[in-house]
């Protein structure tokens, strides 16, 4: 005669075996995903390395200067194009870059004190 505890032990062992089987294959699937992700990370790092090398080539000052001269036709800024510091910072003060002295607006002149 089979005891109930023996049936319980067999069912428990069978369920543990099935659970272990399922968990084993889930772990294998996760390891495969991890390998794929690590491969993608490695590929992305390699692509970033190549892009950085290309970026530094494209931003070489000599190359940019040649392209600017060829396509933009720009020239160096001349001193007479910039002006003086007084003209930049105080353009409306009398005797400093202005043609006529400043006059107070009419609203300020007629205002009662």
The 10s digit of each residue's pLDDT in 83-98 is: 777 777 776 656 554 4
Residue 75, domain extent: 4-97
Interior angle at CA 18, CA 16 and CA 23, nearest 5: 90
Total number of residues shown for the chain: 113
Is residue 109 domain-resident? no
Q: Which residues contact 93 (CB under 8 A, 6 or more apart)?
A: 102
Is residue 35 domain-resident? yes
Is residue 8 domain-resident? yes
Please give the tally of structural domains in the chain: 1
pTM score: 0.49
DSSP 96: T
Is residue 104 domain-resident? no
- State pLDDT tens for residues 46-97: 999 999 999 999 999 999 988 988 888 877 788 777 777 777 777 665 655 4
């Amino acid at each position: 005669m089979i005891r109930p505890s023996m049936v319980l032990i067999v069912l428990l062992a069978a369920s543990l075996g099935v659970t272990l089987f399922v968990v084993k294959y889930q772990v294998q699937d996760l390891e495969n995903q991890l390998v794929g992700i690590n491969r993608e990370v490695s590929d992305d790092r390699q692509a970033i390395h190549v892009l950085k090398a290309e970026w530094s080539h494209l931003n070489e000052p000599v190359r940019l200067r040649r392209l600017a001269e060829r396509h933009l036709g720009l020239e160096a800024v001349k001193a007479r194009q910039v002006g003086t510091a007084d003209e930049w910072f105080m353009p409306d003060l009398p005797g400093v870059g202005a043609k006529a002295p400043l006059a107070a607006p009419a609203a300020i002149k007629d205002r009662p004190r």
